[in-house]
Amino acid sequence: MRWVVRLVVLTGALMAQAAPGWAQRSVYLEELTWTEVRDAIMAGKTTVIIPCGGTEQNGPHMVLGKHNVRVKYTSGEIAKRVGNALVAPVLAYVPEGSLNPPSGHMQFPGTITLPPEYFEKVVEYAARSLKQAGFVDIALIGDSGPNQAPLKAVADRLNREWAGTPVRVHHLARYYRDNGFDRWLKQQGEKVVGNHADLPDTSLQLAVDPSGVRVDRLKPGTPGDGSGVSGDPTHASAAYGRKGLELSIQAAIDELTALKRSSRAR
């Protein structure tokens, strides 16, 4: 019995020693305790990223949670490379179309939507919560098109309200809109035509989590044909996806660095 007690004590001591190192490696709020977050902020990690994904149809070949998996990975990489940042939990419910009559991705089973004004409120109060915690740079990243306008609206509104404080909210639009991935694919000889569950989209998923792609169901599609695909995913590859991820990550880092400076220069 005595050896069991010694083993429990030893295991507890080892876990106590390992915990600080583990906490330092994680950039995700949900994997930290509140005291670890407090200590990280006090140590200079005063930037936080709010990643917005979505739960939407992505054709017969790709899982509904594509955006969530992708933006969690990219936000984590951004935080690690910036060095003074943490990442809030991914928002998985975003604008995806209307309910009655169903429009956009809401025409396909499994998609979950929020009206833009409700999505804005969720993001706004996440940002307010993180400001209260002590973060001074709050970065908003949207991994899909319908996220962009509401995120910009939140950033603009809170920056006006908080103009007299040290806190700034940054909408990182280049992460999604102007990261150069389509341009790079065309330089590789690919025709990038379409905008959903297509070559770029599917390649990104293959790079982050290939289990989310049903490679036996890859097939071109066009809007209105009932497939949910707009474009041709058949040339998708993990190698293409790794390049796309890198371009998105670097575009976000560059924009965040610039906005941190310019937002306080006024």
Tens of pLDDT, residue by residue over 22-65, are 445 799 999 999 999 999 999 999 999 999 999 999 999 999 99
Q: What is the CATH architecture assignment of 28-262?
A: 3-Layer(aba) Sandwich (3.40)
- Range with lowest mean pLDDT among 157-171, 180-194, 204-218, 236-250: 180-194
- Mean pLDDT score, 250-255: 98
Average pLDDT along the chain: 92
Give the pLDDT confidence score for residue 3 in this predicted structure: 46
Q: What's the whole-model pTM score?
A: 0.90
Indicate the domain borders of the chain.
Answer: 28-262
Q: Is the pLDDT of residue 1 over 70?
A: no
Q: Is the pLDDT of residue 20 over 90?
A: no
Give the pLDDT confidence score for residue 96 in this predicted structure: 96
- Range with lowest mean pLDDT among 3-12, 138-147, 182-191, 194-203: 3-12
- 68 by Cβ neighbours in 10 Å (0-12 / 13-18 / 19+) ranks as buried
Give the pLDDT confidence score for residue 53 in this predicted structure: 98
Spatial CA neighbour of 181 closest among 162, 208, 199, 206? 199
Pairwise pLDDT comparison (6 vs 248), residue with the higher score: 248
